[in-house]
Structure 1
């Protein structure tokens, strides 16, 4: 289908500069456990890599945990040597102490190496998961119905691909490695503490239930704010995208202050949820430090008493104090990871919520062959409404023969563009049928059906790239010669060759380096190149000057030769030669016939036509 993205852009219009879907403040995740479960299904594809990460993390932890106890032997040897030197019975054995220090250095280097490798592997796993999610979201967008995009801002959808997937990836990368390392460290440190002093270990363990209770309280309070933070971040993106895209309109209507106020309102909600979530997240560290310091003081006091009694050595006390620090640190890390997991879960819930949205049925069993279509179209008692209880098309019926040029006219809101959406199955009729060569359009695969249609809209769509690439978008396997021939047929070749670079001129992001009329001619060239059986021209000349309109009209006449064409027009002078004019009003065909016949009837069409003529004369 030619210019398919124009359809998405032109028909699924934004709802205005400040569109957006609100949410109830403090809303909790709908299915947090389900989102984590779905994320786990992606992680399972990399279970072998995760096992390697776990093994390397455990090895890194083992080497780092053994270090303090061995280092304690150096401290004991140093203290005993000093005492012996004071008594005059010996001295400090620096050779022995040096060997211990070198051995500990080797352990820490090995620990760092294993930590680096497991971090490298985990980063690869995380990025592959993010890549897969972005790929699925991108494919999902192409399978979703138009009504989804007509009820949401572009920025809100883009936020799922960018912010939410990035948040998910960062949280996943850090949380898995941190959880594995922290759990391994806790177990390892606990064993080493027991080997030094069970009594001191029991004292150190008192901090665990206190820590768990405080963490649970903070997590419960902060989760809803993390969810709100991700939600309003999407709204902010949507507003920024729309304000930027429509800044000329905003300036023309002096709505700068209104847009700033609306942005500030959303930004305030994001600020409130963000600072609360970050504040509660930040509370974890000082709370855990306070609890850890209490345990640290209790251990230091009990260790001193045991050393006085000769139960343990000074080196053991030093090692145990290091272990106490190492014991509280993974608890703090887990507390921080829980915050990341909350943010990751909120982001993953939004991603999977999007992936679970309703899709168009893309294929049917035993579909009709689109290659044999001649272009006969019939609307048979069509009824349709965007909402089930609000019908806007009432009993629409018409038969169109192959190759006919059909003009659809009527006041704004009469249902003209809606008929096009139904014809291309962006929506399905509520009742009745639309048939192509006698086959209900619902009996074709959607992709095949849309291959039969070419479309040129008033709202042109050109992407950043060369003019040659933009025209070739109509048929990607077309040669340069075929592209140039299409441009000549569209009366675009002359102006293209006058541009710097000609066909290789690079259009910028919004194609603002060519005029509106030139953009329109390029989209017509694209449609000519696509060579579709049926054409839809929706207000293709309404935004250009008279001279350009003549050129575009010639190009469209060439384009429509031998093809069934549906022309939606407000300028009735452009459709005088139509084989049939359908006059629509309030969702119904009130008149139909050729131009001269309708003028003779002196009905609704004649009033429309004469009113335009009178305005022109005036």
Structure 2
């Protein structure tokens, strides 16, 4: 079971990546903020120049004042050094504010683009992609890019400039000592390449395993009631322990490379320092008085410059973890942004506005996977204002018909017409505005009762909200809540009964005044007394409006103008309730199965099979 969970929540490893392509794409998000980013880059260069000056203060203090025992000017040199440090502090503060501002604005833009793309993504994408993985894109992956923009790119560029500047200054001061110092560079280069290769794979594994954990947590926290009901706490804990341990091991493996790399860099730096002391000290001692080619102050400055040279190299390696996390996160984010949307509005819509409500299915075939047909050659017509019920056993394709009608999916064969126009030729937004759906599993958003009925529509007045609630008898329990229509609704409607949530869903549907009303097992979770209260309201609202009712409880559809009976994705029977009973076919058997005594159940089930 744990293996199955891992496979479902698994992400593809990034493998080989093209960093320059990613970098060019990321630059698009930085361009709008160039006026802020350019000063930050200039400040970085100025700060590096100020840091490079600091060893020169040491050199001059030793050569000009300490060695000659002229201490009078040392005070002013120390004050100048203090002034440089103070200026460095001020400029660092300004640079940090600028970079953080750019980073947060870029993150805002990126999250907005991601959310907009996910809002437009077709339903099939969510069928295949765990919600936890999508949440990883919007949270930790975007945060990885935030660190890249605020402390990654600019710092790395500054460090590269500093390395080149220090190396050039050291050559200018003494090229022979510099060549001795740079003997350690091949070792440092080899160690860096080894670290880069392994750290990249390590961060890919870490991000992959983090997405697994997020997906698992989202699924099991949402289904906490089912987990507890079926006593699966220990099993879920074992599965989470496996995923969590896998994530821990991936992090430890990545840390292992850091634990080797940084001590090696320090060791190589110590070797470089030893070479400077050995060769530089020898030259200082061999020089004749007043003819020194290398002064003691220059030797001390060289040691400080070597430390400064290795510090940006170490910083770049440290930033490499930021860069790697950002590159991996960028690939995953851009894969999400580049995910094709199969359900798109037509280039030129043939139809928009409010529909009359005529629905036609013409030889429709549909499969969610390859050619595992859910609907097979389905054809029927619903005239405007008719109420049609669709019945059949689970998996017969009832809900699929409504999903295709609202164009959550597109058919593979045949076509579906609304008012004589293929739904694929309708303006997509306008098409869906013609529908209101009441589902068996009601989803309520955090907010108020009123906002859940209105759902952001400013043209739905408070009077209409209250009217819709009265029509479905929801006003009775709403007015008893603290705050009435302004009562707060917690996440997914926690604190409200299933029946109350469905009544709110009914009110929501009526408030939108749809041309076509779809009831998908809408009364299955409402008790008999409540069902009787809302039945008359439903009948009034269905009048002069095309209605499509999907129901297992046949008592709720007896007054429908027509009943369509599905079996294995095909239409087996059509007619009114009385006509279908008179035929003594599949509908009659379904009816008898629900209302006959228990002794007949086994016989009827065998007959249906």
Map 1:60-75; keep pairs closer than 5 Å. 60-75=47-62
Residue 53 of structure 1 corresponds to 40
Match of 1:37 in 2: 24
The offset of 1:361, in angstroms, is 4.2
Which residue of structure 1 aligns with residue 605 of structure 2? none
Residue 278 of structure 1: aligned partner: 255
Q: Which residue of 1 aligns with 2:570?
A: 588
How far apart are residue 494 of structure 1 and its match?
1.6
- 1:123 Cα offset (Å): 1.5
Residue 410 of structure 2: aligned partner: 428
Of the three residues 61, 66, 71, the one matched with 1:93 is 71
1:305 aligns with 2:282: yes
Q: What residue is the counterpart of 2:604 in the other structure?
A: none
Specify the alignment match of 1:3 in structure 2: none
- The residue aligned with 1:80 is 67
Given that 2:14 and 2:328 are in contact with CA atoms closer than 8 Å, whether structure 1 keeps it comes out as no
With over 3 angstroms needed to count, the CA separation of the structure-2 counterparts of 1:430 and 1:556, relative to structure 1, is same
Q: Deviations over 1:439-484 (max 9, x none)?
A: 1111112211101100110111111111111111173322212211
Partner of residue 297 from structure 2, selected from 302, 315, 327: 315
Q: Which residue in the other structure is 2:603 paired with?
A: none
Cα offset, 1:543, TM superposition: 1.7
Sort the Cα spacing of 1:589 and 1:410 in 2 relative to 1 into closer, same or farther, 3 A.
same
1:265 corresponds, among 242, 246, 250, to 242
| Equivalent in the alignment of 1:253 | 230
Superposed CA deviations along residues 51-109 of structure 1, whole A, max 9, x for unmatched, are 32221111111112112112321123443244xxxxxxxxx423x00110111111222
- Which of 377, 380, 390 is 1:408 aligned to? 390
How far is 1:221 from its partner?
1.6
Q: What does residue range 81-480 of structure 1 map to in structure 2 within 5 Å?
A: 81-82=68-69, 92-94=70-72, 96-310=73-287, 311=292, 312-473=294-455, 475-480=457-462
User: Quick one: which of 471, 483, 498 aligns to 2:480?
Assistant: 498
Match of 1:86 in 2: none
* Root mean square deviation of aligned Cα: 2.0
Change (3 A) 1:474 1:167: closer
3-state secondary structure, aligned to 2:147: helix
Shift of 1:615: 4.8
Match in the other structure for 1:28 = 15
How does the TM-score come out when normalised to structure 1?
0.92
Q: Is the 8 A contact 1:462 1:519 kept in 2?
A: yes
Higher relative contact order (CA 8 A, sep 6+): 1
C-alpha contact 2:122 2:343 (8 A) present in aligned 1: no
Shift of 1:35: 2.8
SS at match of 1:168: helix
Q: Which residue of 1 aligns with 2:606?
A: none
* Distance in 2, Cα, partners of 1:613 & 1:288: 81
Tell me if the contact between 1:414 and 1:587 (Cα under 8 Å) persists in the aligned partners: yes
Partners of 1:465 and 1:424 in 2: CA distance: 27
The equivalent residue for 1:5 is none
Tell me which of 566, 571, 574 is aligned to 2:548: 566
Q: 1:219 to 1:30 in 2, by over 3 A?
A: closer
Q: CA 1:178–1:19 in 2, change beyond 3 Å: closer, same or farther?
A: same
| Kept after mapping to 1: 8 A contact 2:343/2:410 | no
- SS of 1:500 mapped into structure 2: coil
List runs of 5+ in structure 2 lacking aligned partners.
601-609
TM-score where L is the length of structure 2: 0.93
Aligned twin of 1:608: 590
Structure 2 vs 1, CA of residues 162 and 220 (structure 1 numbering), >3 Å: closer, same or farther? same
Unpaired runs of 5+ residues, structure 1, are 1-15, 83-91
Q: How far is 1:328 from its partner?
A: 0.6
Verify the 8 A CA contact 2:9 2:211 in the aligned structure 1: no
CA distance in structure 2 between the aligned counterparts of 1:331 and 1:76, rounded to whole angstroms = 29
Cα contact 2:177–2:279 (8 A) shared by 1: yes
Shift of 1:238: 0.9
Once the two structures are superposed, residues 115-137 of structure 1 have per-residue CA deviations (whole angstroms, 9 ceiling, x without a partner) of 22222212111212211110111
Deviations 1:271-315 (A, max 9, x none): 222221232234332121111111011111222112112332222
> What SS is found at the alignment partner of 2:458?
coil
| Structure-2 separation of matches of 1:40 and 1:609 | 65
